[in-house]
Amino acid sequence: MKKKQIKIKAIILAGTRDFGRCPIASKMPLAMWPLVDKPIVEKLLTRLTENGIEDTYICCNGDSSMLQKSLSEVYGMNVKFLDEPFPAGTAGCIRDAANGDTESLYLLIHATFLPCFDIAKIIIQHKNDVAELSVVLAENTAESWQTVMHVCEPTVLDFIPAVGYFDIKEGLIPAMVRHGRTVRAQRLSEKFISFHDRDSYIRSLDKYLQTAEFPQSFGDDFVRDNSVIRAKSAYIAPTARIFGKVVLRDNVRIEDDAVLFGSCVIGNNSCVGKGSIVTGSIIWDNVKIGDNCCIKNCVIANKAAIPDNSVFENQGITWAKQYFRMYTDIKKFAVRMEDQGVQKLHEFSRKPFPKHVAIISAILLLAAFLWSYLPSIQELSQIWMKSDEYSSGLLVPFLGVYVLWTRRSKFSDAQIKPSLYGLFILALAEAMRHFGLFFMYGSAQRLSLVVAIFGFVLLLFGTKIFAKVFTILIFLFLMIPPPNRVHAAVTLPLQELATRSAVFCHEMLGMQVFREGNVIHLNGSAVAIAEACNGLRMATAFLVIAAWVTLLASRPWWQKGLVFLSALPIALVCNTIRLALTAIAFTRISGPRWETLFHDFGGYAMMPLALGMIFFEIWLFDRLTVERKDAKPQIIYRTLSMNS
Query: Does the pLDDT of residue 348 top 60, yes or no?
Result: no
pLDDT for position 73: 56
pLDDT for position 79: 84
Supply the DSSP string of 218-266, one letter for each residue: S-TTEEEETTEEEETT-EE-TT-EEESSEEE-TT-EE-TT-EEESSEEE
- The model's confidence at residue 328, banded by pLDDT at 50, 70 and 90, is very low
CA–CA distances in Å: residue 4 to residues 1, 9, 183, 348, 495 = 5, 15, 22, 91, 46
Query: Does the pLDDT of residue 471 top 90, yes or no?
Result: no
Residue-wise pLDDT for 12-25, tens only, equals 988 766 655 677 87
Query: Does the pLDDT of residue 29 top 90, yes or no?
Result: no
d(CA 196, CA 485): 18
Query: Does the pLDDT of residue 2 top 70, yes or no?
Result: no
- The model's confidence at residue 191, banded by pLDDT at 50, 70 and 90, is confident
Q: Which residues pair with 525 in a beta bridge?
A: 522
Query: Does the pLDDT of residue 193 top 50, yes or no?
Result: yes
Average pLDDT, the chain: 79
pLDDT for position 345: 44
Query: Does the pLDDT of residue 182 top 80, yes or no?
Result: yes
DSSP 620: H
d(CA 250, CA 267): 7
Asked whether the beta carbons of 105 and 7 are under 8 A apart, the reply is: yes
Q: What angle do CA 608, 612, 617 make, to 5 degrees?
A: 150
- The model's confidence at residue 337, banded by pLDDT at 50, 70 and 90, is very low
d(CA 138, CA 118): 15
- The model's confidence at residue 235, banded by pLDDT at 50, 70 and 90, is very high
- The model's confidence at residue 429, banded by pLDDT at 50, 70 and 90, is confident
Residue 93: which residues within 8 A CB-CB, separation 6 or more?
Answer: 11, 13, 57, 59, 82, 84, 108
pLDDT for position 241: 92
Residue 190: which residues within 8 A CB-CB, separation 6 or more?
Answer: 115, 116, 117, 121
Asked whether the beta carbons of 436 and 483 are under 8 A apart, the reply is: no
d(CA 574, CA 521): 21
351 vs 560: which has the higher pLDDT: 560
Residue-wise pLDDT for 38-91, tens only, equals 888 888 888 888 888 888 888 887 667 777 777 755 555 678 888 776 778 888
User: Picking from 132-146, 306-320, 622-636, which range would have the lowest pLDDT averaged per residue?
Assistant: 622-636
Reported residue count of the chain is 644
Query: Does the pLDDT of residue 257 top 70, yes or no?
Result: yes
Which amino acid appears at position 312 of this protein? F
The model's pTM is 0.53
Asked whether the beta carbons of 137 and 188 are under 8 A apart, the reply is: yes
Percent of the chain surpassing pLDDT 70: 80
4 vs 470: which has the higher pLDDT: 470
- The model's confidence at residue 623, banded by pLDDT at 50, 70 and 90, is confident
Percent of the chain surpassing pLDDT 90: 14
641 vs 445: which has the higher pLDDT: 445
Query: Does the pLDDT of residue 278 top 90, yes or no?
Result: yes
pLDDT for position 150: 92
Asked whether the beta carbons of 126 and 149 are under 8 A apart, the reply is: no
Query: Does the pLDDT of residue 339 top 80, yes or no?
Result: no
Q: What angle do CA 347, 353, 357 make, to 5 degrees?
A: 115
Q: Which is nearest to 261 in space by CA: 284, 276, 244, 239?
A: 244
pLDDT for position 143: 60
Asked whether the beta carbons of 524 and 160 are under 8 A apart, the reply is: no
Burial 208-226 (b: 16+ CB within 10 A, else e): bbeeeebeebbeeebeeee
DSSP 591: S
Work out the average pLDDT over 383-394. Answer: 80
d(CA 127, CA 108): 16
- The model's confidence at residue 142, banded by pLDDT at 50, 70 and 90, is low
Residue-wise pLDDT for 96-109, tens only, equals 888 888 888 999 99
Asked whether the beta carbons of 231 and 249 are under 8 A apart, the reply is: yes
pLDDT for position 491: 79
Work out the average pLDDT over 422-435. Answer: 87
Query: Does the pLDDT of residue 279 top 90, yes or no?
Result: yes
| Best mean pLDDT range from 136-145, 315-324, 343-352 | 136-145
pLDDT for position 266: 94
pLDDT for position 218: 66
Q: What angle do CA 575, 578, 582 make, to 5 degrees?
A: 140
Is residue 5 left, alpha or beta, with left meaning phi > 0 and alpha meaning psi from -120 to 50?
Answer: left
Asked whether the beta carbons of 293 and 309 are under 8 A apart, the reply is: yes
User: Picking from 97-106, 339-348, 496-505, 542-551, which range would have the lowest pLDDT averaged per residue?
Assistant: 339-348
Residue 369 belongs to what H/E stretch? helix 355-372
CA–CA distances in Å: residue 69 to residues 19, 23, 65 = 21, 21, 6
Peptide bond into 263 cis (omega under 30): yes
Query: Does the pLDDT of residue 394 top 70, yes or no?
Result: yes
